[in-house]
Structure formats: C-alpha cells, structure tokens
C-alpha cells in the first residue's frame, strides 16, 4: 500500500484495489482466527468498510 501511495503521489483513489485486497485479507483473517491484528482495522470498522465497498461476498 505504501509503495502504491508513494508511486501515485499519495492519491488514495489510485490504490483502491490494493486497499480492497487488504480489507478482504483482513476479513478472512478475522473469520479464521477471531484474533486482533495490528495491521488490520478493528473488526467492526472492517465489516463496515467491506459492506460499504460491496466486498462482503469476497470474504
């Protein structure tokens, strides 16, 4: 994510696909482990982001 942001002048909209992949990965992690991880948003925030982005079916 950091590489993408740096490469694209910190324009987050150009890195949305990477952010989506991170959210999907985090969602799968929470489903499998039920444990907190520092590199992912807290589960309630993540669930909202997945829902808002229409990504629930990919987790």
pLDDT at position 56 is 95
What does the pLDDT look like over 26-38, one tens digit per residue? 999 999 998 999 9
**Residue 20 is inside which H or E element, if any?**
helix 16-33
The pTM assigned to this predicted structure is: 0.85
What is the tens place of the pLDDT at every residue in 4-57? 999 999 999 999 999 999 999 999 999 999 899 999 999 999 999 999 999 999
The candidate with the shortest Cα–Cα distance to 20, out of 42, 44, 1, 39, is: 1
């Amino acid at each position: 994510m950091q590489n993408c942001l740096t490469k694209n002048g910190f324009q987050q909209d150009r890195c949305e696909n990477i952010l989506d992949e991170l959210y999907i990965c985090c969602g799968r992690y929470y489903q499998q482990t039920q444990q907190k991880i520092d590199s992912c948003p807290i589960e309630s925030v993540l669930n909202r982001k997945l829902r808002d982005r229409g990504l629930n079916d990919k987790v």
